[in-house]
Chains A and B, each alone.
Chain A
Amino acid sequence: MERPVRFPPALLTTLILALLVVLSIRGLDIDFGLIFSMQGIGQIGSYFYEMFPPDLSGDFLHDVFFAAVETLAISIMGTVFAIPLGIALALFATRNIIGTGRVSGQSNNKGRRLHAPLFVVSRLILNVLRSIPELLWAIIFILVVGLGPFAGVLALSLHTGGVLGKLYADVLENVDPQPVEAIAVTGAGRVNLFFYSVLPQALPQCLSYTLYRWEMNIREATILGFVGAGGIGLFFYKAINLFYIDRVLTLIIAVYIMVNLVDMLSQFLRRKVQ
Protein backbone atom coordinates (compact mmCIF):
# COMPACT_ATOMS: atom_id res chain seq x y z
CA MET A 1 0.00 0.00 0.00
CA GLU A 2 1.39 3.38 -1.04
CA ARG A 3 1.44 5.98 1.67
CA PRO A 4 0.59 9.56 0.73
CA VAL A 5 3.56 11.91 0.66
CA ARG A 6 3.58 13.94 3.84
CA PHE A 7 5.42 16.95 5.10
CA PRO A 8 8.72 15.50 6.40
CA PRO A 9 8.21 15.01 10.17
CA ALA A 10 11.79 15.97 11.01
CA LEU A 11 11.46 19.32 9.23
CA LEU A 12 8.11 19.98 10.86
CA THR A 13 9.52 19.21 14.32
CA THR A 14 12.49 21.49 13.72
CA LEU A 15 10.23 24.35 12.65
CA ILE A 16 7.98 23.94 15.69
CA LEU A 17 10.98 23.91 18.04
CA ALA A 18 12.45 26.97 16.36
CA LEU A 19 9.15 28.78 16.73
CA LEU A 20 9.07 27.90 20.45
CA VAL A 21 12.58 29.32 20.91
CA VAL A 22 11.67 32.58 19.16
CA LEU A 23 8.47 32.99 21.17
CA SER A 24 10.37 32.25 24.39
CA ILE A 25 13.00 34.90 23.66
CA ARG A 26 10.33 37.49 22.94
CA GLY A 27 8.33 36.60 26.03
CA LEU A 28 11.18 36.66 28.52
CA ASP A 29 12.83 40.09 28.13
CA ILE A 30 16.15 38.42 27.40
CA ASP A 31 18.82 41.10 27.10
CA PHE A 32 22.43 40.00 27.36
CA GLY A 33 23.46 43.64 27.25
CA LEU A 34 22.42 43.95 30.91
CA ILE A 35 25.16 41.53 31.99
CA PHE A 36 27.87 43.30 30.14
CA SER A 37 26.82 46.83 31.02
CA MET A 38 29.11 48.77 33.35
CA GLN A 39 26.55 48.46 36.12
CA GLY A 40 26.21 44.70 35.70
CA ILE A 41 29.91 44.02 35.67
CA GLY A 42 30.38 46.34 38.63
CA GLN A 43 27.74 44.46 40.65
CA ILE A 44 29.28 41.09 39.92
CA GLY A 45 32.76 42.38 40.58
CA SER A 46 31.93 43.83 43.97
CA TYR A 47 30.04 40.68 44.96
CA PHE A 48 33.05 38.57 44.09
CA TYR A 49 35.34 41.01 45.88
CA GLU A 50 33.34 40.76 49.07
CA MET A 51 33.38 36.95 48.96
CA PHE A 52 37.06 36.95 49.81
CA PRO A 53 38.33 35.83 52.16
CA PRO A 54 35.70 33.11 52.87
CA ASP A 55 34.46 32.88 56.45
CA LEU A 56 36.54 30.04 57.87
CA SER A 57 35.85 30.72 61.55
CA GLY A 58 35.62 27.59 63.67
CA ASP A 59 32.01 28.07 64.73
CA PHE A 60 30.76 28.57 61.20
CA LEU A 61 32.77 25.67 59.76
CA HIS A 62 31.33 23.47 62.50
CA ASP A 63 27.79 24.48 61.55
CA VAL A 64 28.46 24.07 57.84
CA PHE A 65 29.97 20.63 58.37
CA PHE A 66 26.91 19.31 60.19
CA ALA A 67 24.56 20.94 57.71
CA ALA A 68 26.46 19.25 54.88
CA VAL A 69 26.23 15.89 56.63
CA GLU A 70 22.50 16.44 57.10
CA THR A 71 22.18 17.25 53.39
CA LEU A 72 24.03 14.08 52.52
CA ALA A 73 21.75 12.08 54.82
CA ILE A 74 18.66 13.64 53.23
CA SER A 75 19.88 12.70 49.77
CA ILE A 76 20.60 9.13 50.88
CA MET A 77 17.27 8.60 52.61
CA GLY A 78 15.38 10.37 49.84
CA THR A 79 16.84 7.86 47.41
CA VAL A 80 16.48 4.83 49.70
CA PHE A 81 12.77 5.44 50.29
CA ALA A 82 12.27 6.08 46.59
CA ILE A 83 13.53 2.61 45.63
CA PRO A 84 10.65 0.49 47.03
CA LEU A 85 8.16 3.09 45.84
CA GLY A 86 9.66 2.97 42.36
CA ILE A 87 9.78 -0.83 42.30
CA ALA A 88 6.18 -1.20 43.45
CA LEU A 89 4.88 1.20 40.82
CA ALA A 90 7.20 -0.08 38.07
CA LEU A 91 5.97 -3.66 38.43
CA PHE A 92 2.44 -2.54 37.62
CA ALA A 93 3.57 -0.05 34.99
CA THR A 94 5.38 -2.66 32.91
CA ARG A 95 3.47 -4.22 30.05
CA ASN A 96 5.50 -7.40 29.84
CA ILE A 97 5.26 -8.13 33.56
CA ILE A 98 1.70 -7.15 34.09
CA GLY A 99 0.86 -9.39 31.15
CA THR A 100 -0.29 -7.15 28.34
CA GLY A 101 2.69 -7.94 26.15
CA ARG A 102 4.35 -10.97 24.68
CA VAL A 103 7.26 -11.46 27.06
CA SER A 104 5.16 -12.96 29.81
CA GLY A 105 3.50 -15.26 27.33
CA GLN A 106 0.16 -14.12 28.67
CA SER A 107 -2.70 -14.42 26.22
CA ASN A 108 -5.94 -12.54 25.90
CA ASN A 109 -7.30 -14.07 29.05
CA LYS A 110 -8.89 -12.76 32.20
CA GLY A 111 -5.62 -11.71 33.81
CA ARG A 112 -4.88 -9.28 31.05
CA ARG A 113 -8.17 -7.49 31.32
CA LEU A 114 -7.83 -7.33 35.09
CA HIS A 115 -4.40 -5.80 34.88
CA ALA A 116 -5.00 -3.14 32.26
CA PRO A 117 -6.51 -0.66 34.78
CA LEU A 118 -3.61 -1.29 37.19
CA PHE A 119 -1.22 -0.41 34.41
CA VAL A 120 -3.00 2.84 33.61
CA VAL A 121 -3.34 3.85 37.26
CA SER A 122 0.30 3.15 38.12
CA ARG A 123 1.53 5.06 35.05
CA LEU A 124 -0.73 7.95 36.12
CA ILE A 125 0.66 7.93 39.66
CA LEU A 126 4.22 7.86 38.29
CA ASN A 127 3.48 10.85 36.08
CA VAL A 128 1.99 12.87 38.94
CA LEU A 129 4.89 12.07 41.29
CA ARG A 130 7.39 13.04 38.62
CA SER A 131 5.75 16.19 37.36
CA ILE A 132 5.63 17.86 40.78
CA PRO A 133 9.13 19.23 41.52
CA GLU A 134 10.93 18.44 44.75
CA LEU A 135 10.62 21.99 46.10
CA LEU A 136 6.85 21.89 45.73
CA TRP A 137 6.68 18.50 47.44
CA ALA A 138 8.86 20.01 50.19
CA ILE A 139 6.44 22.88 50.76
CA ILE A 140 3.53 20.43 50.86
CA PHE A 141 5.28 18.18 53.39
CA ILE A 142 6.35 21.08 55.57
CA LEU A 143 2.64 21.73 56.01
CA VAL A 144 2.17 18.07 56.97
CA VAL A 145 5.20 17.18 59.12
CA GLY A 146 6.59 20.62 59.93
CA LEU A 147 9.90 22.29 59.11
CA GLY A 148 13.01 20.15 59.05
CA PRO A 149 14.87 17.43 57.21
CA PHE A 150 12.03 14.88 57.38
CA ALA A 151 9.96 17.03 55.03
CA GLY A 152 12.98 17.13 52.69
CA VAL A 153 13.38 13.37 52.75
CA LEU A 154 9.71 12.85 51.92
CA ALA A 155 9.87 15.42 49.12
CA LEU A 156 12.89 13.75 47.53
CA SER A 157 11.39 10.27 48.02
CA LEU A 158 8.17 11.02 46.19
CA HIS A 159 9.70 12.82 43.23
CA THR A 160 12.57 10.35 42.93
CA GLY A 161 10.16 7.42 43.38
CA GLY A 162 8.22 8.72 40.39
CA VAL A 163 11.35 9.09 38.29
CA LEU A 164 12.84 5.74 39.30
CA GLY A 165 9.51 3.95 38.80
CA LYS A 166 9.36 5.27 35.24
CA LEU A 167 13.01 4.35 34.57
CA TYR A 168 12.66 0.87 36.13
CA ALA A 169 9.52 0.22 34.10
CA ASP A 170 11.27 1.26 30.89
CA VAL A 171 14.28 -0.94 31.65
CA LEU A 172 12.05 -3.92 32.46
CA GLU A 173 10.08 -3.44 29.26
CA ASN A 174 13.24 -3.30 27.19
CA VAL A 175 14.90 -6.52 28.34
CA ASP A 176 15.78 -8.90 25.52
CA PRO A 177 12.60 -11.01 25.14
CA GLN A 178 14.34 -14.00 23.58
CA PRO A 179 16.08 -15.39 26.69
CA VAL A 180 12.81 -14.81 28.56
CA GLU A 181 10.89 -16.79 26.00
CA ALA A 182 13.54 -19.51 25.95
CA ILE A 183 12.84 -20.07 29.65
CA ALA A 184 9.08 -19.54 29.36
CA VAL A 185 8.81 -22.48 26.93
CA THR A 186 10.08 -24.82 29.63
CA GLY A 187 6.88 -24.15 31.56
CA ALA A 188 8.39 -21.81 34.14
CA GLY A 189 5.91 -19.79 36.18
CA ARG A 190 5.67 -16.02 36.00
CA VAL A 191 7.47 -15.34 39.28
CA ASN A 192 10.35 -17.71 38.54
CA LEU A 193 10.56 -16.29 35.05
CA PHE A 194 10.86 -12.77 36.44
CA PHE A 195 13.66 -13.61 38.88
CA TYR A 196 15.54 -15.86 36.48
CA SER A 197 15.33 -13.96 33.21
CA VAL A 198 13.82 -10.48 33.41
CA LEU A 199 15.42 -9.15 36.59
CA PRO A 200 19.00 -10.32 35.90
CA GLN A 201 18.89 -8.50 32.58
CA ALA A 202 17.43 -5.33 34.07
CA LEU A 203 19.30 -5.13 37.36
CA PRO A 204 22.58 -3.43 36.30
CA GLN A 205 20.74 -0.65 34.47
CA CYS A 206 18.32 -0.17 37.37
CA LEU A 207 21.18 0.11 39.88
CA SER A 208 22.97 2.53 37.62
CA TYR A 209 19.88 4.75 37.32
CA THR A 210 19.39 4.65 41.08
CA LEU A 211 22.94 5.80 41.74
CA TYR A 212 22.57 8.51 39.13
CA ARG A 213 19.43 9.76 40.83
CA TRP A 214 21.34 9.85 44.10
CA GLU A 215 23.86 12.18 42.44
CA MET A 216 20.99 14.40 41.38
CA ASN A 217 19.41 14.23 44.83
CA ILE A 218 22.52 15.51 46.57
CA ARG A 219 22.26 18.65 44.42
CA GLU A 220 18.54 18.86 45.02
CA ALA A 221 19.02 18.44 48.78
CA THR A 222 21.28 21.52 48.90
CA ILE A 223 18.40 23.82 47.95
CA LEU A 224 15.62 22.12 49.95
CA GLY A 225 16.76 24.25 52.92
CA PHE A 226 15.65 27.39 51.06
CA VAL A 227 12.08 26.48 51.93
CA GLY A 228 12.97 25.07 55.35
CA ALA A 229 13.17 21.38 54.53
CA GLY A 230 16.55 20.75 56.17
CA GLY A 231 20.14 20.67 55.02
CA ILE A 232 22.70 23.22 54.01
CA GLY A 233 20.23 25.29 51.99
CA LEU A 234 19.02 27.17 55.05
CA PHE A 235 22.53 28.51 55.60
CA PHE A 236 22.67 29.62 51.99
CA TYR A 237 19.35 31.34 52.36
CA LYS A 238 20.43 33.20 55.49
CA ALA A 239 23.89 34.13 54.19
CA ILE A 240 22.50 35.49 50.91
CA ASN A 241 19.66 37.44 52.45
CA LEU A 242 21.69 38.85 55.33
CA PHE A 243 24.58 39.75 52.99
CA TYR A 244 27.17 37.53 54.72
CA ILE A 245 28.83 37.26 51.37
CA ASP A 246 32.05 35.71 52.69
CA ARG A 247 29.92 32.90 54.11
CA VAL A 248 28.32 32.26 50.72
CA LEU A 249 31.75 31.37 49.36
CA THR A 250 32.42 28.97 52.26
CA LEU A 251 29.08 27.29 51.55
CA ILE A 252 29.79 27.06 47.82
CA ILE A 253 33.10 25.38 48.60
CA ALA A 254 31.39 22.97 51.00
CA VAL A 255 28.73 22.04 48.46
CA TYR A 256 31.37 21.65 45.76
CA ILE A 257 33.35 19.19 47.87
CA MET A 258 30.28 17.24 48.96
CA VAL A 259 28.70 16.96 45.53
CA ASN A 260 31.97 15.88 43.94
CA LEU A 261 32.61 13.25 46.58
CA VAL A 262 29.16 11.78 45.98
CA ASP A 263 29.65 11.95 42.20
CA MET A 264 32.95 10.11 42.42
CA LEU A 265 31.58 7.45 44.73
CA SER A 266 28.47 6.98 42.64
CA GLN A 267 30.38 6.77 39.37
CA PHE A 268 32.76 4.26 40.90
CA LEU A 269 29.81 2.11 41.98
CA ARG A 270 28.10 2.50 38.62
CA ARG A 271 31.16 1.19 36.85
CA LYS A 272 31.14 -1.75 39.25
CA VAL A 273 27.59 -2.82 38.50
CA GLN A 274 27.92 -2.72 34.72
Chain B
Amino acid sequence: MDIKITHLHQNFGGAPVIRDMDFSVMSGERIAFLGPNGVGKTTLFRHMNLMITPAAGGVELDGAAISTLSVKEVRAMKRRIATIYQQHNLIPRFKVINNILAGRLGQWSTTRALFSLLIKSLDVDDVRDVLEKTGIADKMYWRTDRLSVGQQQWVAIARALYQNPDLLLADEPCASLDPRNAEKLIRLLVNWSKQHNTTVIASFHDVELALAYFPRIIGLKDGAVFFDLPAGQVTKQHLQDLYRDEKPREVEAKENVVIPACCITPIEI
Protein backbone atom coordinates (compact mmCIF):
# COMPACT_ATOMS: atom_id res chain seq x y z
CA MET B 1 0.00 0.00 0.00
CA ASP B 2 1.38 3.41 -0.80
CA ILE B 3 0.86 6.45 1.36
CA LYS B 4 0.94 10.16 0.67
CA ILE B 5 0.88 12.65 3.50
CA THR B 6 0.49 16.26 2.41
CA HIS B 7 0.52 19.31 4.66
CA LEU B 8 -0.87 17.23 7.51
CA HIS B 9 -1.75 19.27 10.56
CA GLN B 10 -3.27 18.19 13.83
CA ASN B 11 -3.92 19.81 17.16
CA PHE B 12 -6.21 18.63 19.91
CA GLY B 13 -7.34 21.99 21.16
CA GLY B 14 -3.84 23.00 22.23
CA ALA B 15 -0.45 23.36 20.64
CA PRO B 16 -0.18 21.52 17.31
CA VAL B 17 0.96 17.91 17.62
CA ILE B 18 1.65 17.62 13.91
CA ARG B 19 2.44 20.67 11.82
CA ASP B 20 2.67 20.79 8.06
CA MET B 21 3.99 17.27 7.61
CA ASP B 22 4.81 15.90 4.17
CA PHE B 23 6.14 12.57 3.02
CA SER B 24 5.15 9.70 0.78
CA VAL B 25 5.74 5.99 0.91
CA MET B 26 5.86 3.49 -1.93
CA SER B 27 4.21 0.12 -1.74
CA GLY B 28 6.45 -2.44 -0.07
CA GLU B 29 8.77 0.15 1.46
CA ARG B 30 10.18 -0.28 4.95
CA ILE B 31 10.49 2.89 6.96
CA ALA B 32 11.65 3.55 10.51
CA PHE B 33 10.51 6.62 12.42
CA LEU B 34 13.01 8.00 14.88
CA GLY B 35 12.55 10.90 17.23
CA PRO B 36 12.19 11.91 20.85
CA ASN B 37 9.07 11.18 22.88
CA GLY B 38 6.11 13.39 22.21
CA VAL B 39 6.89 14.44 18.65
CA GLY B 40 3.56 13.17 17.38
CA LYS B 41 4.58 9.68 16.28
CA THR B 42 1.59 8.03 17.88
CA THR B 43 -0.73 10.66 16.45
CA LEU B 44 0.78 10.13 13.02
CA PHE B 45 0.16 6.39 13.34
CA ARG B 46 -3.43 7.11 14.31
CA HIS B 47 -3.80 9.08 11.10
CA MET B 48 -2.42 6.26 9.02
CA ASN B 49 -4.63 3.61 10.61
CA LEU B 50 -7.65 5.88 10.19
CA MET B 51 -8.55 6.25 13.85
CA ILE B 52 -8.53 10.04 13.54
CA THR B 53 -9.20 12.39 10.66
CA PRO B 54 -6.83 15.26 9.87
CA ALA B 55 -7.58 18.73 11.17
CA ALA B 56 -5.99 20.00 7.98
CA GLY B 57 -4.02 18.53 5.11
CA GLY B 58 -4.45 15.15 3.58
CA VAL B 59 -3.73 11.46 4.03
CA GLU B 60 -3.91 9.36 0.88
CA LEU B 61 -3.76 5.57 0.96
CA ASP B 62 -3.36 3.87 -2.41
CA GLY B 63 -4.40 7.10 -4.08
CA ALA B 64 -7.63 7.47 -2.13
CA ALA B 65 -7.92 10.60 0.01
CA ILE B 66 -9.16 9.43 3.41
CA SER B 67 -11.42 12.41 3.97
CA THR B 68 -13.45 11.53 0.85
CA LEU B 69 -14.09 7.88 1.76
CA SER B 70 -17.50 6.68 2.89
CA VAL B 71 -17.90 4.88 6.21
CA LYS B 72 -17.96 1.59 4.36
CA GLU B 73 -14.82 2.38 2.38
CA VAL B 74 -13.03 3.44 5.56
CA ARG B 75 -13.83 0.06 7.10
CA ALA B 76 -12.64 -1.77 4.00
CA MET B 77 -9.42 0.24 4.14
CA LYS B 78 -8.93 -0.50 7.84
CA ARG B 79 -9.02 -4.23 7.12
CA ARG B 80 -5.86 -3.79 5.04
CA ILE B 81 -3.97 -2.02 7.81
CA ALA B 82 -2.56 -3.78 10.87
CA THR B 83 -1.19 -1.97 13.89
CA ILE B 84 1.19 -3.20 16.58
CA TYR B 85 1.27 -1.08 19.72
CA GLN B 86 3.75 -0.49 22.52
CA GLN B 87 1.44 -2.44 24.82
CA HIS B 88 0.05 -5.68 23.55
CA ASN B 89 -3.60 -4.55 23.97
CA LEU B 90 -4.90 -8.10 24.11
CA ILE B 91 -7.93 -9.47 25.95
CA PRO B 92 -6.26 -11.06 29.00
CA ARG B 93 -8.94 -13.70 29.58
CA PHE B 94 -8.98 -14.99 26.02
CA LYS B 95 -7.05 -17.96 24.82
CA VAL B 96 -4.14 -16.96 22.62
CA ILE B 97 -5.94 -18.33 19.56
CA ASN B 98 -8.95 -16.04 20.08
CA ASN B 99 -6.75 -12.99 20.46
CA ILE B 100 -5.15 -13.83 17.15
CA LEU B 101 -8.43 -14.56 15.39
CA ALA B 102 -9.49 -11.03 16.36
CA GLY B 103 -7.13 -9.83 13.62
CA ARG B 104 -9.61 -10.92 10.97
CA LEU B 105 -12.74 -9.85 12.81
CA GLY B 106 -13.32 -7.14 10.21
CA GLN B 107 -13.80 -9.80 7.53
CA TRP B 108 -16.07 -11.99 9.60
CA SER B 109 -19.82 -12.16 9.99
CA THR B 110 -21.15 -12.03 13.54
CA THR B 111 -22.20 -15.68 13.27
CA ARG B 112 -18.67 -16.67 12.47
CA ALA B 113 -17.24 -14.52 15.27
CA LEU B 114 -19.59 -16.07 17.83
CA PHE B 115 -18.93 -19.56 16.50
CA SER B 116 -15.21 -19.07 16.98
CA LEU B 117 -15.77 -17.85 20.53
CA LEU B 118 -18.33 -20.35 21.74
CA ILE B 119 -17.71 -23.53 19.77
CA LYS B 120 -14.43 -23.76 17.96
CA SER B 121 -12.24 -22.01 15.49
CA LEU B 122 -12.09 -23.15 11.89
CA ASP B 123 -8.79 -21.48 11.05
CA VAL B 124 -6.44 -23.33 13.39
CA ASP B 125 -3.85 -23.91 10.66
CA ASP B 126 -3.56 -20.24 9.73
CA VAL B 127 -3.19 -19.31 13.38
CA ARG B 128 -0.53 -21.97 13.90
CA ASP B 129 1.38 -20.57 10.90
CA VAL B 130 1.72 -17.10 12.36
CA LEU B 131 2.38 -18.48 15.84
CA GLU B 132 5.23 -20.57 14.50
CA LYS B 133 6.71 -17.49 12.90
CA THR B 134 6.61 -15.73 16.26
CA GLY B 135 7.92 -18.78 18.09
CA ILE B 136 5.06 -19.43 20.50
CA ALA B 137 3.09 -22.10 18.65
CA ASP B 138 2.94 -24.24 21.80
CA LYS B 139 0.98 -21.51 23.60
CA MET B 140 -1.98 -21.50 21.19
CA TYR B 141 -4.56 -22.67 23.75
CA TRP B 142 -3.09 -20.93 26.78
CA ARG B 143 -4.96 -18.20 28.53
CA THR B 144 -3.27 -15.01 27.37
CA ASP B 145 -2.73 -13.56 30.85
CA ARG B 146 -0.69 -16.62 31.81
CA LEU B 147 1.98 -15.62 29.29
CA SER B 148 4.90 -13.33 30.09
CA VAL B 149 4.75 -9.72 28.89
CA GLY B 150 7.22 -10.51 26.12
CA GLN B 151 5.21 -13.51 24.96
CA GLN B 152 2.05 -11.41 24.99
CA GLN B 153 3.76 -8.93 22.70
CA TRP B 154 4.48 -11.81 20.31
CA VAL B 155 0.79 -12.69 20.40
CA ALA B 156 -0.04 -9.12 19.41
CA ILE B 157 2.47 -9.37 16.56
CA ALA B 158 0.96 -12.67 15.44
CA ARG B 159 -2.48 -11.03 15.46
CA ALA B 160 -1.22 -8.27 13.16
CA LEU B 161 0.37 -10.77 10.75
CA TYR B 162 -2.75 -12.96 10.82
CA GLN B 163 -4.65 -9.96 9.50
CA ASN B 164 -2.46 -10.26 6.40
CA PRO B 165 -2.20 -6.50 5.95
CA ASP B 166 -0.98 -4.39 3.03
CA LEU B 167 0.27 -1.82 5.51
CA LEU B 168 1.82 -2.80 8.81
CA LEU B 169 2.25 -0.05 11.39
CA ALA B 170 4.29 -0.67 14.51
CA ASP B 171 4.41 1.99 17.21
CA GLU B 172 7.48 1.13 19.29
CA PRO B 173 6.84 -2.61 19.03
CA CYS B 174 10.08 -3.46 20.86
CA ALA B 175 9.24 -1.54 24.02
CA SER B 176 8.58 -4.69 26.05
CA LEU B 177 11.11 -6.98 24.36
CA ASP B 178 14.72 -7.71 25.30
CA PRO B 179 17.40 -6.82 22.71
CA ARG B 180 17.54 -10.34 21.28
CA ASN B 181 13.76 -10.52 20.85
CA ALA B 182 13.70 -6.97 19.50
CA GLU B 183 16.08 -7.95 16.74
CA LYS B 184 14.11 -11.13 16.07
CA LEU B 185 10.94 -9.06 15.73
CA ILE B 186 12.54 -6.64 13.30
CA ARG B 187 13.89 -9.51 11.19
CA LEU B 188 10.42 -11.02 11.12
CA LEU B 189 8.86 -7.74 9.98
CA VAL B 190 11.51 -7.27 7.29
CA ASN B 191 11.13 -10.82 5.95
CA TRP B 192 7.37 -10.58 6.03
CA SER B 193 7.54 -7.30 4.13
CA LYS B 194 9.78 -8.82 1.46
CA GLN B 195 7.65 -11.93 1.04
CA HIS B 196 4.26 -10.21 0.93
CA ASN B 197 5.27 -6.80 -0.45
CA THR B 198 3.82 -5.29 2.73
CA THR B 199 4.57 -1.68 3.51
CA VAL B 200 6.06 -1.54 7.01
CA ILE B 201 6.33 1.62 9.05
CA ALA B 202 7.73 1.29 12.54
CA SER B 203 8.99 3.65 15.21
CA PHE B 204 11.94 2.79 17.43
CA HIS B 205 14.06 4.12 20.23
CA ASP B 206 16.87 1.76 19.32
CA VAL B 207 18.62 3.76 16.61
CA GLU B 208 21.17 1.02 15.77
CA LEU B 209 18.48 -1.54 15.03
CA ALA B 210 16.51 0.88 12.89
CA LEU B 211 19.58 1.81 10.84
CA ALA B 212 20.60 -1.81 10.44
CA TYR B 213 17.32 -3.15 9.10
CA PHE B 214 15.34 -0.30 7.59
CA PRO B 215 16.38 1.14 4.22
CA ARG B 216 14.74 4.52 4.86
CA ILE B 217 14.73 6.56 8.04
CA ILE B 218 12.42 9.46 8.81
CA GLY B 219 13.42 11.61 11.76
CA LEU B 220 10.49 13.38 13.38
CA LYS B 221 10.80 16.43 15.55
CA ASP B 222 8.27 18.99 16.82
CA GLY B 223 5.51 17.41 14.81
CA ALA B 224 7.31 17.68 11.47
CA VAL B 225 9.71 15.70 9.31
CA PHE B 226 13.22 16.62 10.49
CA PHE B 227 15.08 14.46 8.00
CA ASP B 228 14.05 11.80 5.49
CA LEU B 229 17.08 9.84 4.30
CA PRO B 230 18.27 6.43 3.18
CA ALA B 231 19.70 4.63 6.20
CA GLY B 232 23.23 4.88 4.80
CA GLN B 233 23.15 8.67 4.75
CA VAL B 234 22.01 9.22 8.32
CA THR B 235 24.98 10.69 10.20
CA LYS B 236 25.76 11.02 13.85
CA GLN B 237 25.15 14.75 13.52
CA HIS B 238 21.61 14.12 12.23
CA LEU B 239 20.83 11.96 15.22
CA GLN B 240 22.34 14.37 17.75
CA ASP B 241 20.29 17.22 16.33
CA LEU B 242 17.22 15.02 16.31
CA TYR B 243 17.40 14.12 19.97
CA ARG B 244 18.66 17.45 21.28
CA ASP B 245 16.20 18.89 23.78
CA GLU B 246 15.25 22.34 22.55
CA LYS B 247 11.70 22.83 23.60
CA PRO B 248 9.95 22.97 26.94
CA ARG B 249 8.73 19.67 28.33
CA GLU B 250 5.03 20.58 28.46
CA VAL B 251 4.44 19.59 24.84
CA GLU B 252 5.32 16.03 25.65
CA ALA B 253 2.07 15.22 27.41
CA LYS B 254 0.03 16.30 24.42
CA GLU B 255 0.17 12.96 22.70
CA ASN B 256 -1.58 11.25 25.59
CA VAL B 257 -4.47 13.70 25.70
CA VAL B 258 -7.78 11.88 25.48
CA ILE B 259 -8.95 12.38 21.97
CA PRO B 260 -12.35 14.00 21.69
CA ALA B 261 -14.97 11.77 20.10
CA CYS B 262 -15.38 14.19 17.20
CA CYS B 263 -11.87 13.43 15.97
CA ILE B 264 -12.44 9.73 15.65
CA THR B 265 -13.41 8.36 12.31
CA PRO B 266 -16.69 6.50 12.16
CA ILE B 267 -16.86 2.75 11.85
CA GLU B 268 -19.84 1.09 10.36
CA ILE B 269 -22.18 -1.14 12.28
Query: Which of A's residues lie within 8 Å of B, judged by CB?
Result: 100-102, 104-109, 111-112, 178-179, 181-193, 195-197, 200-201, 204
B68-102 CB mask vs A (1 if < 8 Å, else 0) is 00010001111101110101011101100010001
Kindly state whether residue B149 has any CB partner on chain A within 8 Å: no
Interface residues of B in 25-82 (CB under 8 A from A): 49-51, 53, 71, 75-79, 81-82
Contact B91 A190 (CB under 8 A): no
* A201 contact set on B, CB distance < 8 A: 91, 93
Contact B269 A183 (CB under 8 A): no
Q: Per DSSP, are chain A's interface residues mostly helix, strand or loop, or mixed?
A: helix
Task: Report the bound CA distance from A176 to B150 in whole Å.
Answer: 20
* A196 contact set on B, CB distance < 8 A: 91, 98, 102, 105, 113, 117
* A100 contact set on B, CB distance < 8 A: 261
Kindly state whether residue B124 has any CB partner on chain A within 8 Å: no
Contact A107 B262 (CB under 8 A): yes
Contact B105 A106 (CB under 8 A): no
Closest to B265 in A: A107
Task: Report the bound CA distance from A195 to B163 in whole Å.
Answer: 18
* B263 contact set on A, CB distance < 8 A: 107
Task: Tally chain B residues at the interface, Cβ within 8 Å.
Answer: 45
Kindly state whether residue B110 has any CB partner on chain A within 8 Å: yes
* B119 contact set on A, CB distance < 8 A: none
Q: A102-B258, A106-B267 are in contact. Are A178 and B102 (CB under 8 A)?
A: no
Which of A101, A181, A187 has the largest count of B CB atoms less than 10 A from its CB?
A187
Q: A187-B75, A195-B114 are in contact. Are A102 and B264 (CB under 8 A)?
A: yes
Q: Which 10 A-B pairs have the closest CB atoms?
A: A187-B106, A187-B78, A182-B89, A188-B105, A187-B79, A107-B266, A105-B267, A190-B269, A187-B75, A192-B113
Kindly state whether residue B250 has any CB partner on chain A within 8 Å: no
Contact B83 A185 (CB under 8 A): yes
Task: Report the bound CA distance from A184 to B262 in whole Å.
Answer: 16
* B98 contact set on A, CB distance < 8 A: 196
Contact A195 B79 (CB under 8 A): no
Task: Report the bound CA distance from A106 to B262 in whole Å.
Answer: 8
* B267 contact set on A, CB distance < 8 A: 104-106, 184, 187-190, 193
Which of A105, A106, A111 has the largest count of B CB atoms less than 10 A from its CB?
A105
B143-176 CB mask vs A (1 if < 8 Å, else 0) is 0000000000000100000010000000000000
Task: Report the bound CA distance from A107 to B259 in whole Å.
Answer: 11
- Enumerate 14 A-B pairs (CB-CB under 8 Å) in ascending A order: A102-B261, A105-B264, A109-B71, A112-B261, A181-B89, A182-B83, A182-B89, A182-B90, A185-B51, A186-B82, A187-B75, A187-B107, A189-B268, A191-B113
* A190 contact set on B, CB distance < 8 A: 267-269
Closest to B87 in A: A178
Contact A187 B77 (CB under 8 A): yes
Contact B50 A185 (CB under 8 A): yes
Contact A185 B78 (CB under 8 A): yes
Contact B269 A189 (CB under 8 A): yes
Contact A105 B51 (CB under 8 A): yes
Kindly state whether residue B103 has any CB partner on chain A within 8 Å: yes
Task: Report the bound CA distance from A199 to B113 in whole Å.
Answer: 13
* B49 contact set on A, CB distance < 8 A: 185
10 other A-B residue contacts (CB within 8 Å) besides A106-B261, A186-B79? A105-B266, A185-B78, A186-B163, A188-B267, A189-B105, A191-B269, A196-B98, A200-B117, A201-B91, A204-B93
Kindly state whether residue B142 has any CB partner on chain A within 8 Å: no
Expressed in whole angstroms, the minimum distance between the Cβ of A264 and any Cβ of chain B is: 25
Kindly state whether residue B108 has any CB partner on chain A within 8 Å: yes
Contact B103 A186 (CB under 8 A): yes
Task: Report the bound CA distance from A153 to B69 in whole Å.
Answer: 52
Determine which of A101, A112, A197 lies in contact with B91 in the assembled complex, contact meaning CB atoms within 8 Å.
Answer: A197
Which of A107, A182, A192, A195 has the largest count of B CB atoms less than 10 A from its CB?
A182
Contact A189 B75 (CB under 8 A): yes
Expressed in whole angstroms, the minimum distance between the Cβ of A206 and any Cβ of chain B is: 13
Task: Report the bound CA distance from A12 to B85 in whole Å.
Answer: 44
Closest to B117 in A: A195
Expressed in whole angstroms, the minimum distance between the Cβ of B79 and any Cβ of chain A is: 4
Contact A192 B266 (CB under 8 A): no
Task: Report the bound CA distance from A108 to B263 in whole Å.
Answer: 8
Closest to A190 in B: B269
